[in-house]
Structure 1
Amino acid sequence: MTTLEAGASTLDARGHANRRVPAAAVRARLTPWAYQAPVLISLLVFVYGPLVFTMVLSLLDWDLVSPDRTFVGVDNYRRLVEEPEFPHALARTGLYVLALLPFATIVPMALAIMLWKRPGRASDNYRSLLFLPVVLAPVATALSWRFVLDPLGGVANHVFGAVGLPEQDWLGDPDTAIWAISLITSSRFVALNILLYGAALAALDRRAFDAARIDGATEWEITRHLVVPQLVNTTVLLSFLCVVFAGQWTFTNVAVLTQGGPDASTDNIYYRLYTYAFTFFDAGTGAAAAVLIVLILTALFGLSTLLRRRRALG
């Protein structure tokens, strides 16, 4: 057999060429997947696996203890929609989002710009102090606020009494409880988002702002017309993250301080999910609530993506 014959592709019974893929080409194709395998396996095990299990569990009637699991179909979802507790908790979660949105965008943006305009060691120290609420344990923070807002001997009422204002039952009054929980949670949003705004500001070119100062622009004009417009994308992202995390980050404070009361005024969808699953031992309804939360957040993410694409296209 000549060299030319040996290098030619062989033909099968039907006359089709049988070309062998070189081993190097196979390795080139598989190498990226090998690098991505740990991430993909982690997603399957810790994200999509539990999500699929939750979806299956939402179709069952199970008390977390009994080995018997009865298939009930969409009855758990129907119960969530028909009973007033979950829609009420959903509405309260929306109220949390509205209350926390300024603390997730406007307040940290203003503080980050102030620190950015005064670079140096003092600015770094202030930024570290402002980041403390993220480092502290949420349960410990909530317990500290319980003593501050205590209606009998709390620091807040002592301050109010000293300046002649009426004392309040901050966590026991339906009119003030949800705002108190929102204020307690706001420190985490401010602390984290200052760093995110600071990272966005660090990418800006200071020479453009120096040129504007030479041309006679005031600091307010520079901030309003040059700095803030370049933070729009960061603001949109942090607004969406506020929608995602408002219910989660208020959950600890609700569970420790009010347990959803008084009169369900501080309830939210995450505490309602916890109540279904671990107070009433109704795992199916709790799983159905979790699935609905995922669907709602997915819909909001899709809507925000669509709006951003339309805005980019003009």
Structure 2
Amino acid sequence: MTTLEAGASTLEARGHATKRAPAAVVVRARLTPWAYQAPLLIALVVWVYGPLVFTAVLSVLDWDLTSPDKTFVGVDNYRQLVEEPEFPRALARTGLYVLALLPFATVLPMALAIMLWKRPGKASDRYRSLLFMPVVLAPVATAVTWRFILDPLGGVVNSTFGAVGLPEQDWLGDPDTAIWAISLITASRFVALNILLYGAALVALDRRAFDAARVDGATEWEITRHLVVPQLVGTTALLAFLCAVFAGQWTFTNIAVLTQGGPVNSTDNVYYRLYTYAFTFFEAGTGAAAAVLIVVVLTALFGLSTLVRRRRVTS
């Protein structure tokens, strides 16, 4: 091969390499984001969607968690939930928990967050840290502490009531007071967490508009009512939705430790009822059916809240 032919073949090879390089670069550019997202996608499949699919399959089976035999029963587990009076009652109590906790998830933390936001400084940071403590503490330890506080024979609350001449109560043993006691115990977590979330929303607000309102003679109450609170509507709607999602879950620990659903099922909710089906009565299929129904209800609530937000933005 002559020198000229060798040079021509080299140039031709480089031309082919140049033509192939863009394709490889494009493929690499398309695959690189997926490579970064792969750990998250794998975790979602393993820890979220995989268990959801398994629960949906288990909801149409009859299984006692110990026997190797699983019998297909179709919708019988769902029919049992609908026909059994305790599950609809537990669902209604879950809604009652949501309504009882809603002010502690929105109104109270908003008021406290605004108070702390208007007085910035080291003292405000210390108060915010103290108010956040219920989120850091273990829920079981908190529930055990409240058991001693509400003890009908020597608890702090009844001792204080007796000292001032008020009637003592069996707070966790009376069906009329037990559900409200569980709600108040759970409320501290909502208040603690949502103060932080409202504080993050308040930091994003422009203080210059409020200073201009003060120059024009507006009072602090007028500034809060007409300028600050309207800008927190989106945050409030989100926290109200999260309250509907987490109210049943966060009351579960307090119910399990303090009342076990009693007295007379007055504190039962759908999460504790699900736990009872699966791990007390060993009816795994019924418990899975209850879990599927809970997911359906939460998905419907999420869809409804999304629709409301979109209509509010477009209007």
Fold conserved between structures, TM > 0.5: yes
Q: Count the aligned residue pairs.
A: 303
Write the letter of the residue equivalent to 2:175.
P
Counterpart of 1:278 in structure 2 is: 279
Distance in 1 of aligned mates of 2:246 and 2:256: 16
Written as runs of structure 1 = structure 2, the 5 A alignment for 1:6-25 is: 22-25=23-26
Counterpart of 1:248 in structure 2 is: 249
Question: 1:94 deviation in Å?
Answer: 0.1
Write the letter of the residue equivalent to 1:89.
A
Distance in 2 of aligned mates of 1:207 and 1:35: 41
Counterpart of 1:27 in structure 2 is: 28
Write the letter of the residue equivalent to 2:191.
V
Counterpart of 1:115 in structure 2 is: 116
Counterpart of 1:127 in structure 2 is: 128
Counterpart of 2:205 in structure 1 is: 204
Counterpart of 1:62 in structure 2 is: 63
Distance in 2 of aligned mates of 1:164 and 1:148: 18
Distance in 2 of aligned mates of 1:155 and 1:254: 20
Counterpart of 2:230 in structure 1 is: 229
Write the letter of the residue equivalent to 2:259.
T
TM-superposition CA deviations, 1:43-68 (whole Å, max 9, x none): 01110000000000111111111111
Distance in 2 of aligned mates of 1:311 and 1:174: 41
Distance in 2 of aligned mates of 1:237 and 1:167: 39
Distance in 2 of aligned mates of 1:269 and 1:194: 27
Counterpart of 2:311 in structure 1 is: 310
Distance in 2 of aligned mates of 1:106 and 1:252: 24
Cα distance change, pair 48–164 in 1 and its aligned pair in 2 (3 A): same
Question: 1:21 deviation in Å?
Answer: 7.0
Distance in 1 of aligned mates of 2:251 and 2:70: 32
Counterpart of 2:104 in structure 1 is: 103
Distance in 1 of aligned mates of 2:235 and 2:160: 37
Distance in 2 of aligned mates of 1:207 and 1:22: 53
Write the letter of the residue equivalent to 2:258.
L
Could you say what secondary structure the match of 1:22 adopts?
Answer: helix
Question: 1:282 deviation in Å?
Answer: 0.7
Counterpart of 1:144 in structure 2 is: 145
Distance in 1 of aligned mates of 2:243 and 2:86: 23
Write the letter of the residue equivalent to 2:154.
G
Counterpart of 2:299 in structure 1 is: 298
Question: 1:7 deviation in Å?
Answer: 7.4
Distance in 1 of aligned mates of 2:162 and 2:214: 47
TM-superposition CA deviations, 1:123-143 (whole Å, max 9, x none): 000000000000000000000
Question: 1:20 deviation in Å?
Answer: 9.9
TM-superposition CA deviations, 1:284-307 (whole Å, max 9, x none): 000000000000000111111111
Matched, 1:85 2:89: no
TM-score, structure 1 length as denominator? 0.93
Write the letter of the residue equivalent to 1:123.
S
- Structure 1 segments (4+ residues) deviating >3 Å: 1-4
Distance in 1 of aligned mates of 2:214 and 2:162: 47
**Sequence identity, in percent?**
83
- Bigger mean CA offset, 300-309 vs 20-29: 20-29
Write the letter of the residue equivalent to 1:204.
L
TM-superposition CA deviations, 1:71-126 (whole Å, max 9, x none): 11111011001101110000000000000000000000000000000100000000
Unaligned runs of 5+ in 2: 1-7
Written as runs of structure 1 = structure 2, the 5 A alignment for 1:159-178 is: 159-178=160-179
Counterpart of 1:155 in structure 2 is: 156
Distance in 1 of aligned mates of 2:121 and 2:314: 40
Distance in 1 of aligned mates of 2:39 and 2:131: 35
Could you say what secondary structure the match of 1:302 adopts?
Answer: helix
Distance in 2 of aligned mates of 1:193 and 1:124: 15
Write the letter of the residue equivalent to 2:297.
I
Counterpart of 2:192 in structure 1 is: 191
Write the letter of the residue equivalent to 1:42.
A
Distance in 2 of aligned mates of 1:92 and 1:99: 10
Counterpart of 1:16 in structure 2 is: none
Question: 1:270 deviation in Å?
Answer: 0.3
Matched, 1:51 2:49: no
Matched, 1:264 2:251: no
